[in-house]
Amino acid sequence: MRLSDLQPGENALVVRVGGFGPIHRRLLSMGILPGTVIKVVRISPLGDPVVYEIRGAFISLRRSEAEQVEVEKIAPLHLIPPGSRVKVIIVDGGMGFIQNLHKMGISPGRVIEVVKACCPMVVRTPLGQFTIGRGMAYRVYVR
């Protein structure tokens, strides 16, 4: 899937950055690197350019530039309905946050099940059943 195919509010993981010469260098210098989470914020009224959020910064790209970026759609854990089994792709946080979730069995590559979706969220991992807050769930991206 291409970055230009995403709709406002959707999140994706950058898989590959294409293009040649100046376009490729521009995309990389803006922080669009493989393994980075990117979110579509807004599309201009005429459809070009599009505003994206990447690493807390807002950038604007033309559709022709966004077509050079291959992505994979992902979603924050807090949007997943109960009963769903999902694979953890990225845990977005500091070292302590990542270690705490790892102790619960929530780490990249692991499959977890959402038992309860809201307030607080309950997930089942290979290590057991755990309760996590919405703020924590917002920073775990799954597919």
| Per-residue pLDDT tens digits for 76-97 | 998 899 999 999 998 988 899 9
Read off the pTM: 0.78
Rounded Cα–Cα distance for residues 121 and 105 (Å): 15
Q: Are 127 and 104 found together in one domain? A: yes
Q: Are 43 and 93 found together in one domain? A: no
| Token pair belonging to 51 | 């505003």
pLDDT reported for residue 101: 93
Question: Which strands make up the sheet holding 69-76, listed edge to edge?
Answer: 57-61, 50-54, 37-43, 11-17, 69-76, 140-142, 85-91, 111-116, 121-125, 128-132
pLDDT reported for residue 47: 80
Q: Are 67 and 100 found together in one domain? A: no
Q: Are 67 and 84 found together in one domain? A: no
Q: Are 87 and 127 found together in one domain? A: yes
Burial label for 81, CB within 10 Å (0-12, 13-18, 19+), is exposed
Report the number of distinct structural domains present in the chain: 2
